[in-house]
Structure 1
Amino acid sequence: MSAALLWSAFADEDSAAATAGALLDEGLVACANILPGVRSLFVWQGERSEARECAVLFKTDASLLDRACARLAELHPYETPAVSGWHADATPGATAAWLGELVAARH
């Protein structure tokens, strides 16, 4: 078992919490850390922009990473959400076991 992380920003805490709740209920993530007050600077459709957003860091088992990323993109309220996922290179055994319970629960 190994860990993976996903990251995405949302317009507000309510939409972040709703999406996180769905991913938790579907067993695709074990935890979602909602970080309000993120200042985002970005280029969208050729224009430089800035917005206050709410970011979420999701924790999952590495074997669920692709499915969790795809589902996060499906559920996300933005037309074109920025969703990133990656494998966590260093994860203590107890954390990996906790995240691995997601996989065990799906069988």
Structure 2
Amino acid sequence: MYLLVLCTCPDTKAAELISRALVEEKLAACVNIMPGITSVYRWQGNVEFDTEVQLLIKTASEKYSLLEEKIKNLHPYETPEIIALNIQQGDKHYLNWITESLKENS
């Protein structure tokens, strides 16, 4: 099964650091970095508005635990957003590319 993992970062520097590590370590096939999103959330009793960078991470379910651990180790937030969504359907060539990109010996 394939996953789309969402993760917000405080800035491009953190987003690039996490993205590079995930792809280099074959925990993700691809990460899209989407700058300039506005997040509205409750934190420590206050409603916060922040500009953040959204990561869209494509991976396989068997890589999720290691991917989550790597994000937590690199992320500057105390509680980073790490949400995995199952990819129900997709182009078979793209999904095969994800599989090939995550192989240890490729």
Normalised by the size of structure 2, how large is the TM-score? 0.89
Q: Flag structure 2 segments of 5+ consecutive residues without an equivalent.
A: none
Alignment of 1:1-107 (within 5 A): 2-105=1-104
For 1:20 and 1:78, locate their aligned partners in 2 and report how far apart those are by CA, in whole Å: 16
User: 1:45-95: CA deviations, max 9, x gaps?
Assistant: 111110011111011122212321232222211111111112211122111
Which 4+ residue blocks in structure 1 deviate beyond 3 angstroms?
A: none
Question: Quick check: 2:28–2:102 contact (8 Å CA) kept in 1?
Answer: no
Q: Indicate the SS of the match to 1:18.
A: helix
Computed over aligned residues only, the root mean square deviation of the Cα atoms, in angstroms, reads 1.6
For 1:86 and 1:69, locate their aligned partners in 2 and report how far apart those are by CA, in whole Å: 13
CA gap 1:5/1:47 in 2 versus in 1, 3 angstroms: same
Identity of aligned residues (%): 28
For 1:54 and 1:14, locate their aligned partners in 2 and report how far apart those are by CA, in whole Å: 10
For 2:99 and 2:87, locate their aligned partners in 1 and report how far apart those are by CA, in whole Å: 13
Q: Flag structure 1 segments of 5+ consecutive residues without an equivalent.
A: none
